[in-house]
Structure 1
Amino acid sequence: MKNKNTARGRRLAGICLAVLGFASLSHGVSKGAEPSLEPPLVREAGLRGGNGHGFDSFELYYRQSSPWLDRHVVDPWLPQAVRARWDLTVGRWRGSDGDSAFVAFGPALEAFPVGDLRLSLGLQPTLLSDYEAGDRDLGGPFQFTSHASLAWAPQRALVLGIRVQHTSNARLYSSNPGADIVSIEVGYGF
């Protein structure tokens, strides 16, 4: 079982690296683009590392602006300093009772209240390869991950942040203890 989960984790990491590589190559400067009031970060890729109750977490992430969500969801209801992003994460939880690979994808709201500081809140549906993380049975493979983070995120530069997240299944399964993780993230905004 452990070798099967390790192989799954390697496949997910390979897929994520391919997506990150393709995304960075396919987002060149567009000709004739008009200037916008976008916050400094349009795209970001990086690594997160942290730990939770009985396990360590390692994640690769890619974040990208979402003009459609901004126009149809954020702009009518929230201040101009708030922007929507899509957040894709693949990672691995490593605990004493085994490993679990996961993929999470969903929206995040980001605000730049002071200079290059960024606040982020998000909710991503999450799929786990093994839902027994650490010493916990999370109930099933489909979960939701909510997060709050604070980062220093200057334009076209190294991004440093701290993130607190909670993963649980919103009572889809009979077991729902959830998993909390505190992590440090290092990325690059481009």
Structure 2
Amino acid sequence: MSTKSKLYLLCALPLLAVSAHAGEFEWSDLALRVGFDAENRVDVKSYELISTLDSPWSWTISDRFEVDLGLEFGLGALDGEGETAFLGHLGPALEIEFGDFPLELIVSSGPALLSEHEFDNLDLGGSFQFMSAVGFDFEVTDEWTLGYRYLHISNAGLHDENPGMNLHALSLAYEF
């Protein structure tokens, strides 16, 4: 299967999830996320459109502590060092809320596909990667949030080359 076919399949998966459980899941937000290399090894930036599909799985620990599980979908590009790669990823996202406090902690991880994996002297090893993130969202208003993520992209040793890439990313999201 070609990389292009894999990317199309990855993009179609959200449609299957929504149609299978349309009554239980709903889209919660749409975000624009921009990132840059955290280690200054290469001049690569990420540009992504992110959306989260909320699930019915939520755990209320107390009046001031709740954990929600969603599914994060992202489409975008890694650009720099003379290369531009299409990026698609999906995976579970845990949101930890603290009552009325306007800050949520977010942890996410899942598979990712890249159309290009070499950026000058940085070879990520292959098109199939894993993308993990930890960060927070700050609720500016009921509809808008500002976020930060520390992103890690790596192939987990599936390819001979596995240097990984770390990014600092900022986001602006509209909550539905």
Taking structure 2 as the reference length, the TM-score comes to 0.76
Pairwise CA distance, 1:109: 0.4
1:33-182 matches, cutoff 5 A: 43-52=28-37, 53-67=42-56, 70=57, 75=59, 79=61, 81-113=66-98, 115-133=101-119, 135-153=121-139, 156-182=142-168
Instruction: Report the CA distance between 1:156 and its aligned residue.
Output: 4.1
Q: Distance in 1 between matches of 2:98 and 2:27?
A: 17
Q: Following superposition, which runs of at least 4 residues in structure 1 exceed 6 angstroms of deviation?
A: none
Distance 1:107 1:134 in 2: 31
Residues 50 and 111 of structure 1: CA distance in aligned 2, closer, same or farther (over 3 Å)? same
SS at match of 1:171: coil
Q: Deviation digits for residues 105-158 of structure 1, max 9, x if unmatched?
A: 110100112512110001020000001135311111000000001111367411
Aligned length, in residue pairs: 154
Aligned in 2, Cα 1:123/1:157: closer, same or farther, shift over 3 Å? same
Contact 2:48 2:77 in 1 (8 A): yes
Runs of 5+ consecutive residues of structure 1 not aligned to the other structure: 1-7, 34-40
Gaps of 5+ in 2: none
TM-score, normalising length from structure 1?
0.71
Classify the secondary structure of the residue corresponding to 2:169.
strand
Task: Call closer, same or farther: CA 1:121–1:98 in 2, change over 3 Å.
Answer: same
Percent identity, please: 29
Q: Which residue of 2 aligns with 1:38?
A: none
Bigger proportion of residues as strand = 2
- Mapped to 2, the partners of 1:105 and 1:149 lie a distance apart of 17
Any conservation in 2 of the 1:156–1:188 contact (CA below 8 Å)?
Answer: no
Cα separation, 1, equivalents of 2:27 and 2:87: 25
1:3-22 deviations in Å (ceiling 9; x for gaps): xxxxx8xx98xx79xx8xxx
